[in-house]
C-alpha cells in the first residue's frame, strides 16, 4: 500500500511520458483565456548546454533499451491491442483531467469527463475500449501545468528532465499537484504501479515507432526539433488550440497524431 517513502516514485508513475498524444477539447462556454504567445525557443532555453547532455542520455536510453523492447512489443501485439492499452491508462487519469478542468472553470468539460469515465469503465470494459468518444464525450487532456498557463503563469525556462524528457519550469512543478490528484497510489502497491507504468511507456513507444524514426531522419537538429515541438504543443493545449499570436516564424513541428 501507499507509503510516505514512495512519494517520489509515485510522482514519476503519475506523469505520462507523452502528453501530446491526447485528443483536445473545444473551448469552454465561458470567456477564453488570453492566448499565450510562444516564447522564442533559444531565449527560452538558457541552460541549453545542460539540457543537451540530459537529452543525449535520454535518447541513448531510448535507442538501446526502450526502442528494442518496443519493437518486440509491437511485433507481438496487434495495433488494436496497443490502442486498448492506451485507452486503459487514459481512463485512469480521469481524476487529473477532471480536477484541472474544474480549476480552469471548464465545468462543462468536467461533466463530460465524469460521463466519459463512467461509460468507458462500464461499457468500455474497465477503459480498454472507448465508446464514450463515439457517444459525443471526447477526451479532455488537462494537467496542472496547463491550469497554471490558463491563468497566465508563464512557462519559465525550458528544461529536459532525466528519463521524463522535455518540460519547463511551470510544467515540472505541475507534476507535484497532478501526482496528488491521482488516486491510484493510495489503493495500489507502488511496485504494481511501477510495472503498470513500464507497460504504459513501452506500449506508447511502440505506437509511435515509425513517427519517431521519421522525425529523427528528417530533423537537422533533433534536440531543437523536440524542443520546438514540445513548446508548440504545450501552447496548443493551454489555449485549447486557439490560433496563437507570435508564431509566424516557427517551423513546421512534429505532431504524432497528425494534427
Q: Over the stretch 90-106, which tens digit does the pLDDT of each residue have? A: 998 999 999 999 999 99
**E strand or H helix at 213, and its extent?**
helix 209-218
Residue with cell 541549453: 48
Q: Over the stretch 216-249, which tens digit does the pLDDT of each residue have? A: 999 899 999 999 999 988 888 888 875 444 333 3
What distance lies between CA 206 and its chain's CA centroid? 16
Q: Over the stretch 14-68, which tens digit does the pLDDT of each residue have? A: 333 333 333 222 233 333 444 455 545 556 899 999 999 999 999 999 999 999 9
Mean pLDDT of the chain: 78
Nine-digit cell at 202? 513501452
Confidence of residue 173 (pLDDT cuts 50, 70, 90): confident
pTM as predicted: 0.73
Domain ranges of the chain: 4-238
For residue 104, which of 146, 41, 158 has the smallest C-alpha distance?
Answer: 146
Amino acid at each position: 500500500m501507499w507509503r510516505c517513502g514512495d512519494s517520489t516514485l509515485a510522482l514519476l508513475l503519475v506523469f505520462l511520458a507523452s502528453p501530446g498524444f491526447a485528443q483536445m477539447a473545444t473551448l469552454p462556454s465561458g470567456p477564453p483565456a488570453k492566448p499565450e504567445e510562444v516564447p522564442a525557443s533559444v531565449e527560452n532555453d538558457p541552460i541549453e548546454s545542460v539540457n543537451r547532455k540530459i537529452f543525449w542520455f535520454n535518447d541513448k536510453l531510448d535507442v538501446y533499451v526502450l526502442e528494442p523492447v518496443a519493437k518486440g512489443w509491437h511485433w507481438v501485439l496487434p495495433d488494436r491491442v496497443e490502442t486498448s492499452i492506451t485507452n486503459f491508462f487514459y481512463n485512469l487519469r480521469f481524476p487529473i483531467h477532471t480536477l484541472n478542468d474544474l480549476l480552469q472553470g471548464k465545468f462543462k468539460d468536467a461533466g463530460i469527463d465524469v460521463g466519459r469515465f463512467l461509460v468507458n469503465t462500464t461499457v468500455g470494459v474497465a477503459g480498454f475500449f472507448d465508446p464514450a468518444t463515439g457517444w459525443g464525450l471526447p477526451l479532455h487532456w488537462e494537467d496542472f501545468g496547463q491550469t497554471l498557463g490558463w491563468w497566465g503563469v508563464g512557462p519559465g525556462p525550458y528544461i529536459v528532465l532525466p528519463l521524463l524528457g522535455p518540460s519547463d519550469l511551470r510544467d515540472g512543478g505541475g507534476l507535484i499537484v497532478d501526482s496528488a490528484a491521482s488516486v491510484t497510489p493510495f489503493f495500489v502497491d507502488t511496485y504494481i504501479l511501477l510495472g503498470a507504468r513500464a507497460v504504459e511507456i513501452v506500449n506508447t513507444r511502440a505506437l509511435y515507432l515509425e513517427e519517431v524514426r521519421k522525425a529523427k531522419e528528417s530533423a537537422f537538429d533533433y534536440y531543437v526539433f523536440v524542443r520546438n515541438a514540445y513548446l508548440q504543443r504545450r501552447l496548443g493545449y493551454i489555449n485549447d488550440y486557439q490560433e496563437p499570436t507570435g508564431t509566424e516564424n516557427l517551423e513546421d513541428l512534429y505532431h504524432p497524431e497528425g494534427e
